[in-house]
Amino acid sequence: MTMMVLYILLVLMIVGSIIAVEIKDLLSSVVALGAVGLGLSIVFLLLKAPDVALTQIVVEIFMVIILIRATLRRDLESSPTRSRPLGAVAAIGFIAILMMIATTSFKDLPTFGEPAMRVAATYLEQGLSKTGAGNLVAAVMLDFRGYDTLGEATVLFTAVIGVSAVVRRIGRKKANRLKGRENA
Amino acid sequence: MSLIVKTVTRLTVGLILLYGVYIVSQGHLSSGGGFAGGVMIALSFVHMMLAFGKETAFKKLSEAKALFFESLGVLIFLGIALLGLVGGVFFLNFLPPGEAFRLFSGGTIPFSNIAISLNVGAGLFTVFLAIVLLNNDSERK
Amino acid sequence: MMAVYVLCLALFCVGVYAILAKRNVIKIIVGIIIAENAVNLFFILTAYRVGGRSPILSPGQEIMRVVDPLPHALVLTSIVIGLATTALLVAFAIRLYEKYGTFDIEKIRELKG
Amino acid sequence: MIPAAQIIPLFVAIPLGGAFLVALIGRKIPRLPDLMVSTASLFLLVLAIYSVKLANAHGTIVYAVGNWTPPVGIAMVLDGLAAFMLVTVSLIGLFVALFSIGYMERFTAKWQFATLFLLMLAGMTGVIVAGDIFNLFVCLEIAAVASYALVAFGTERHALEAAFKYAVMGSLGSLFILLGIAWMYGYTSTLNMADMAGVLRNTGASRMTLMTAVLFLAGFGLKAALVPFHAWLPDAHPSAPAPISAMLSGVLIKSLGVYALCRIFYNVLGMTPALSAVLMFLGALSMGIGVVLAIGQWDMKRLLAYSSISQIGYIVMGIGIGTPLGMLGGIFHLFNHSVFKSLLFLDAGAVEYATGTRDLKKIGGLARKMPVTSGTALAAAMSVGGVPPFSGFWSKLIIIFAAVEAGHYGYAFWAVLAGVLTLAYAMKVIKYAFLGNPRARCQNIKEVPVCMQLSMGILALICILGGSLLLPGVREVFLEPASTVLAEGTWMAGRVLNGGR
């Protein structure tokens, strides 16, 4: 039953993403993207990952808001729909190679639903007793692998500083003693 | 925005913020955590700004203040890690794990969650402000 | 059972296609988000156990057939990293629109050689 | 864990702490950003030199973050290769920071520049000391996101355009890497690189390895700008402010691209003859295409950017040969290229600072007006062109010898040919920019500020004396431990899991 729902959701997500990529109207594209994110969140719930589902849905909301903010009131004339032929060839070539290798490589992966769990067994056994956190994901994120989480917070921090640096009105001070700067 | 939107917003903004805080504080017990909660806190401010315009939102949290809180949050998180280094190892969970399933359990985990939520909440609001302010400027031209 | 992985990879390929082949800046960003979603999904797929329980314990519960919590933590990290990248890309896109008046990557072309 | 291992987390914590402090209070205190960047990178250099001593004394040092024994927790690993890379990155970082004190006066919001610069540095050192594959990815993203923003720091049209393309290609690369990691995790069920190598060696899953190798090659190839994936580099590197161009070309593509690629291919997946052939082929391709495109350029920084593609080709080919001599050559060339390419970009920045343009057709005769810039540029150009006794000559010589020794005569000939063409474009820069009669617009210029001169001077000195790293006694301390780590392949994994040695 779970598998059936999973397949249906996955197919819907793929359809949704194709719509998001191919539709002409940018706003509809962003909305379709939001639907894909919502579907993904439900898939995460099905796969017993409530933490991830929660984060996915709120992050998706934020992404859709800023994307809509970017696309709102942009005239359609400026939104091309045609593809870049060279890029399309490169993409299809790469995807073909990837799919070809992947289909043989899938056989090496453990069966779906039966992960090997070499390291993870330790988390299940010791997570509660050693860290005292009932949520094992929180235990892994902030204790066993807290350093990764620092890195993640730093990436977000970097992006925020980056965004506020990029949106500056004036990037370069006017060079007074130089006349005729070419690259300013 | 219309009166309906404003009234509904007035009622819901507090709830969203409160739910975000709840998610942060319960991060080590049930699903959620600093990131999800932080995003919710940011979204509550975004919500307010969309309904009431930027002046009202600015009164609550200006861009400079948001950037300050963001840096503060991530600095606190690094501080927790460095306190561990003082105690022996980088990222050592130096507080006792405590009794499981209580609010004060998990050693440093709840504190890290709060630091992260500060960072994420303030940071994402800054991003939104930067992008929105930019849009307004360009439309005015 | 492998079909799940194949579908997930197909989603990734849709994203990659959009990144490489589309001319619209927003479509490229949409492609990146889709591909990111697919990669996150792949992580969670590797964690799933048939008939498993979520890795959130409650008092008095036995630890039995709990799904792998590690990929969940990794995906939380990668979701936030994706959000950070997207925010930066959107800021670039808006600035580009402001300077060039278009979202067309073929027209936004001052640098060449 | 030995007590001295406590310095390992400091490599990440110092620049991160500096960045956060600058963001917190840097706007209020005007001199703080400069001061923080310089002191943090100076500290890093001192620590990095100390880490070379440590790595020599103790071999592999493993630091278990959070006191969780790997593979349960995250490991930071310091070995010969990591120490070598740390010295390279922090050396360039320090002099670029010194240079940017003067150069960045032309830009607004210096505190943001300082923050992003320190974050980029932290990301690179994080990648270098990472012993855990997901941690490597996270640190890589810190450095990459910071570099996207830094490329667009001037917020001009072309800078934004270049930054957008760079960010899209960079994100695509990161996605490939992340998918590769997911695949690896699904199979090995661990994230520690040493543990992963052990699992892969025991089970010998070749189909699995092929898939991840393709994903990692595409991902890290995009970061390192190897030829089929190089399209973003000639836009991104010239559009950034000069100190950032120096950082990007000098160390970022190496620590994020080449170092991570080698670390994973040699120490995790294990090198096979097929992989080695692929690396050599891509290296040779980058070498040839980069050098041909570089000769045709008239924009000084764009020429240097194409030159970076070509020189990365040398490094990848040297390492790809797979013999100890080839790896030594590749590693040595990595160091030399970091020094001379960042010096050349700083010189280009100085020229732009003084004259306002970097078009080779519009400048000339700068030798008389800007003696320090011209002198250092000459040293760097000689080094990139492979003129003895400058450092670049020795490393290229070793790579060519290694190719001959391994029986790859075609590749050796190709490298010689590319070397000759390299000399041609190096001479082109010198001839058009610094020799000849001064153009009208170059009459009233003066030499750049002292801090910029100082950093260029010291880098030029390293260019001239770089060959001495090969002397017996020095080589065993700095270069050989680095190439040994690669030569050991997946067998070094055992030492990481046994807690060092």
From A139, A143, A160, residue closest to B127, measured CB to CB: A160
What whole-number distance in Å separates Cα of residue D124 and Cα of residue D120? Answer: 6
| Average pLDDT score, chain B | 85
From D150, D163, D187, residue closest to A109, measured CB to CB: D187
Quote the pLDDT of residue D70. Answer: 81
**Position D348 confidence tier, pLDDT thresholds 50, 70, 90:** very high
Contacts of D74 in chain A (CB under 8 A): 145, 147-148
Q: Domain segments of chain C: what residues?
A: 3-50+65-100
Q: Residue B130 corresponds to which tokens in the numbers above?
A: 């930067």
Report yes or no on D303 lying in a domain: yes
B21 pLDDT higher than 90: yes
**Position A81 confidence tier, pLDDT thresholds 50, 70, 90:** low
Q: Residue D435 corresponds to which tokens in the numbers above?
A: 């020799």
B57 pLDDT higher than 80: no
Q: Which of left, alpha, beta for A62 (phi over 0: left; psi -120 to 50: alpha)?
A: alpha
Question: Under an 8 A CB cutoff, do B30 and C95 touch?
Answer: no
What whole-number distance in Å separates Cα of residue B25 and Cα of residue B117? Answer: 10
Name the β-bridge partners of A103.
Answer: none
Chain D touched by B84 (CB under 8 Å): yes
Q: Residue B13 corresponds to which tokens in the numbers above?
A: 């903004």
What whole-number distance in Å separates Cα of residue D26 and Cα of residue B64? Answer: 12
Buried b (16+ CB within 10 A) or exposed e, D242-270: bbbbbbbbbbbbbbbbbbbbbbbbbbbbb
For a pLDDT cut of 70, what percent of chain C falls above it?
A: 96
Residue type, A41: S
Q: Residue D479 corresponds to which tokens in the numbers above?
A: 């270069």
Which phi and psi (to 5°) does residue D70 adopt?
-60, 150
What whole-number distance in Å separates Cα of residue D97 and Cα of residue D219? Answer: 29
Report yes or no on D289 lying in a domain: yes
Give the domain range for residue D317. 274-470
For a pLDDT cut of 70, what percent of chain B falls above it?
A: 94
D369 pLDDT higher than 60: yes
CB pairs under 8 A between A and C: 268
Chain D touched by A52 (CB under 8 Å): no
Distance from CA of B30 to the nearest CA of C (A): 6
Buried b (16+ CB within 10 A) or exposed e, A5-41: ebeebbeebbebbbbbbbbeebbebbbbbbbbbbbbb
> Tell me: the pLDDT tens digits for D223-246?
999 988 898 999 999 999 999 999
Report yes or no on D115 lying in a domain: no
Quote the pLDDT of residue A176. Answer: 45
Quote the pLDDT of residue A174. Answer: 62
Q: Which chains touch A (3 or more CB pairs under 8 A)?
A: B, C, D
| Average pLDDT score, chain A | 84
For a pLDDT cut of 90, what percent of chain B falls above it?
A: 38
A9 vs D434: which has the higher pLDDT: A9
B128 vs C64: which has the higher pLDDT: B128
> Tell me: the pLDDT tens digits for D375-392?
999 999 999 998 888 899
From B74, B78, B91, residue closest to D66, measured CB to CB: B91
Mean predicted confidence (pLDDT) in D323-341: 93
Quote the pLDDT of residue D496. Answer: 75
B136 pLDDT higher than 70: no
Distance from CA of C42 to the nearest CA of B (A): 21
Q: How distant, in Å, are the alpha carbons of B16, B48, B51, B58, C2 from that of B6?
A: 15, 9, 6, 17, 50
Answer yes or no: are the C-beta atoms of C19 and C32 closer than 8 Å.
Answer: yes
ipTM: 0.94
C26 vs D4: which has the higher pLDDT: C26
From C54, C76, C94, residue closest to B134, measured CB to CB: C94
D407 pLDDT higher than 60: yes
DSSP string over D90-116: HHHHHHHHHHHHHHGGGBS-HHHHHHH
**Position D422 confidence tier, pLDDT thresholds 50, 70, 90:** very high
Quote the pLDDT of residue D243. Answer: 94
> Tell me: the pLDDT tens digits for D25-72?
888 888 899 999 999 999 999 999 999 999 998 888 899 888 888 888
From B30, B101, B131, residue closest to C91, measured CB to CB: B131
> Tell me: the pLDDT tens digits for B25-54?
888 888 878 899 999 999 999 888 888 887
Quote the pLDDT of residue C112. Answer: 60
Best of B117, B127, B136, B141 to substitute, by most chain C Cβ atoms within 10 angstroms, is: B127
CB pairs under 8 A between C and D: 94
Question: Going by DSSP bridges, is the β-strand pair D61-64/D75-78 parallel, antiparallel, or unpaired?
Answer: antiparallel
Which phi and psi (to 5°) does residue A48 adopt?
65, 45
Answer yes or no: are the C-beta atoms of D132 and D190 closer than 8 Å.
Answer: no
Give chain B's domain count. Answer: 1
A82 pLDDT higher than 70: no
Chain D touched by A142 (CB under 8 Å): no
> Tell me: the pLDDT tens digits for D440-486?
777 778 888 888 999 999 999 999 988 888 888 888 888 888 888 88
Which phi and psi (to 5°) does residue D130 adopt?
-70, 135
Mean predicted confidence (pLDDT) in B9-34: 89
Quote the pLDDT of residue D43. Answer: 94
Quote the pLDDT of residue D414. Answer: 94
The CATH class for the domain spanning C3-50+65-100 reads mainly alpha
**Position D209 confidence tier, pLDDT thresholds 50, 70, 90:** confident
Q: What is the DSSP letter of D299?
A: B
> Tell me: the pLDDT tens digits for D264-302?
999 898 888 888 999 999 999 999 999 999 998 999 999
| Average pLDDT score, chain D | 90
Quote the pLDDT of residue A177. Answer: 42
With residues binned 3-state (H G I as helix, E B as strand, rest as coil), the percentages for chain C, rounded to 5, are 65, 5, 30
Give the domain range for residue B47. 3-140
**Position A183 confidence tier, pLDDT thresholds 50, 70, 90:** very low
Quote the pLDDT of residue B135. Answer: 61
Contacts of B135 in chain C (CB under 8 A): 94
For a pLDDT cut of 90, what percent of chain C falls above it?
A: 52
Give chain D's domain count. Answer: 1
Mean predicted confidence (pLDDT) in B70-88: 90
Closest chain A CA to residue B134: A167
Quote the pLDDT of residue D1. Answer: 67
Chain D touched by B68 (CB under 8 Å): yes
Q: Residue D18 corresponds to which tokens in the numbers above?
A: 């500096």
Question: Under an 8 A CB cutoff, do C92 and D164 touch?
Answer: yes
From C54, C76, C98, residue closest to B35, measured CB to CB: C76
What whole-number distance in Å separates Cα of residue D448 and Cα of residue D194? Answer: 48
Question: Under an 8 A CB cutoff, do A162 and D208 touch?
Answer: no
